[in-house]
Copies of this chain bind each other. A is one copy, B any other.
Amino acid sequence: MAVYLQVLEELEAEGEEIISSSKLAQLCGVNPSQIRKDLAYFGEFGVRGVGYYVTDLKESIKHFLGLDKTWNCAIVGIGNLGRALINHRAIKDKGYRIVGAFDWDPFKIGEKVGDLEIICTRRLKEKAKELNIQIGIITTPPNRAQRAANHIVEAGIKAILNFSPTRISVPDDVIVDYVEFSRYLIYLSFKLIHG
């Protein structure tokens, strides 16, 4: 679904107004029926004999994926990785905004990263309300990840993305996802061996 969205955005940028499922399928590298089934799943967007209106369809998918709102994120642990994420522009275009940078280290507090000021993790709860933070991102060292998670949960945030290579435990109503860099490397080396 995210692939369709990306292709649709490219088409829109090229000025295309209408696209047929077969053309879109070709661009996405899938079967035309696949596309029609997927799109029909959450509403009827096509026009028989014509195709799909690129902009309308794009908006519908965005709405379905929740990309028509902006989502506010906080980063906890402002080391190399935290900074890289704050500076990463690509996510802003998709409607995710990093609105808070938190760290435990007293020497870092007050320091500027981009146009964010690093804030003490203890103030996360207070700031989460103020900034309406919906997603917490953990980029602390592994042995601090659980502590960071606790702060995020405490602040009432219901979604966590954890970059540190440790499992964290949280209440059932909090969604956690893990980023594992090694996954990509395993894929590549596997391909190198097995074609």
A interface SS class: helix
Which residues of chain B are near A88, meaning CB under 8 Å?
Answer: 165, 181
Question: Which of A12-20, A46-54, A77-85, A100-108 forms contacts with chain B?
Answer: A77-85
Report how many copies the assembly holds: 2
Which residues of chain B are near A193, meaning CB under 8 Å?
Answer: 66
The answer on a CB contact under 8 Å between A186 and B94 is yes
Known: A66-B190, A84-B80, A134-B192. A91 touches B185 (CB 8 A): yes
The answer on a CB contact under 8 Å between A190 and B65 is yes
Cα of A185 to Cα of B94 in the assembled complex, Å: 10
Contact of A71 (CB < 8 Å), options: B2, B67, B189: B189
The answer on a CB contact under 8 Å between A189 and B66 is yes
- Say yes or no: is A152 at the interface (Cβ < 8 Å to chain B): no
- Say yes or no: is A184 at the interface (Cβ < 8 Å to chain B): yes
Which residues of chain B are near A73, meaning CB under 8 Å?
Answer: 185
- Say yes or no: is A182 at the interface (Cβ < 8 Å to chain B): yes
Cα of A32 to Cα of B90 in the assembled complex, Å: 41
- Please give the residue numbers on chain A whose beta carbons come within 8 Å of chain B beta carbons, in ascending order: 2, 65-67, 71, 73, 79-81, 83-85, 87-91, 94, 96, 134-135, 142, 158-161, 165, 175, 177, 179-193
